[in-house]
A and B are shown apart, each in its own frame.
Chain A
Amino acid sequence: MKSSPSLKWQNRHLGSHITLSLWALVVLFPIWTMIVNSFKFKLDIYKDPFGLPKKWNFDSYGSVFRDSDFFMYFRNSLAVTVGSIILVLVLGSLASYAIVNWKNRQTRFIYLFFIAGMMLPLKIGSIKLLEMVKALGLLNSIWALFPIYIAMGLPIAVFVLTQFITDIPYELTEASVIDGASRLRIYAQIIIPMIQPALATVGIYNLVPFWNDLWFPLIFINNEESKTLLLGVTRLFGQYQTDWSKVLAVLTLSAIPVILLYLTMSRQFIKGLTAGAVKG
Chain B
Amino acid sequence: MKNRKLGQYTWYCYLVPALFFYAVFMAWPLADSIRLSLYSASGPAGAGRTFVGFDNYIRLFTDPDTSARFWGAFGNTWYFFFINMVCQNVLAIVFALMLSERTMKGSRVYQTIIFIPVTLAILVTGYLWKLILNPQWGAIAQILTKLDLKELVKPWLGDERYALTTVALVSSWQWVGIPAMMFFAGLQNIPDELLEAAEIDGASKLGKILSIRLPLIKPVIGIVTILTFVNNFNAFDVVFAMENANGAPSYSTDLIGTLFYRVGIAGQHPVGIPNPGLGSAIATSTFIMLMAGVVGILGLTKSEK
Interface residues of A, Cβ cutoff 8 Å to B: 5-6, 10-11, 13, 16-17, 19-20, 23-24, 26-31, 33-34, 37, 45-50, 91-92, 94-95, 97-99, 101-102, 107, 110, 113-129, 132, 147-148, 150-152, 154-156, 158-160, 163, 167, 183-184, 197-198, 201, 204-205, 208, 211-212, 230, 233, 244, 247-248, 251, 254-255, 258-259, 262-263, 266, 269, 273-274, 276-277, 280
Contact = CB atoms under 8 A, between A and B. Distances in A.
Interface residues of B, number: 90
B45 A127 contact: yes
Contacts of B29: 122, 124-126, 128-129, 132
Contact of A23 (B95, B129, B264): B95
Contacts of B112: 259, 262-263, 266
B21 A147 contact: yes
Given A122-B29, A125-B30, A263-B112, A29 B139 contact: yes
B11 A102 contact: yes
Chain B at the A interface: mostly helix, strand, loop or mixed?
helix
Nearest to A113: B27
A5 B223 CA distance: 34
Contact of A151 (B25, B134, B223, B303): B25
17 contacts: A23-B114, A30-B128, A31-B116, A49-B131, A99-B15, A114-B18, A118-B230, A119-B291, A124-B29, A124-B30, A156-B227, A160-B223, A163-B303, A233-B121, A247-B123, A259-B116, A273-B185
B101 A16 contact: yes
Interface of B: 7-8, 10-11, 14-15, 17-19, 21-22, 24-30, 32-33, 45, 91, 94-95, 98-99, 101, 103-106, 110-125, 127-129, 131-132, 134, 137-139, 142, 173, 178, 181-182, 185, 188-189, 191-192, 205, 219, 223, 226-227, 230, 233-234, 236, 257, 260-261, 264-265, 276, 279-280, 283, 286-287, 290-291, 294, 303
A62 to B, nearest CB: 20
B21 A117 contact: no
A34 B128 contact: yes
Contacts of B223: 159-160, 163
B26 A122 contact: yes
Contact of B181 (A150, A201, A274): A201
Contacts of A129: 25, 29
Given A20-B110, A156-B227, A254 B10 contact: no
Given A125-B33, A266-B111, A117 B189 contact: no
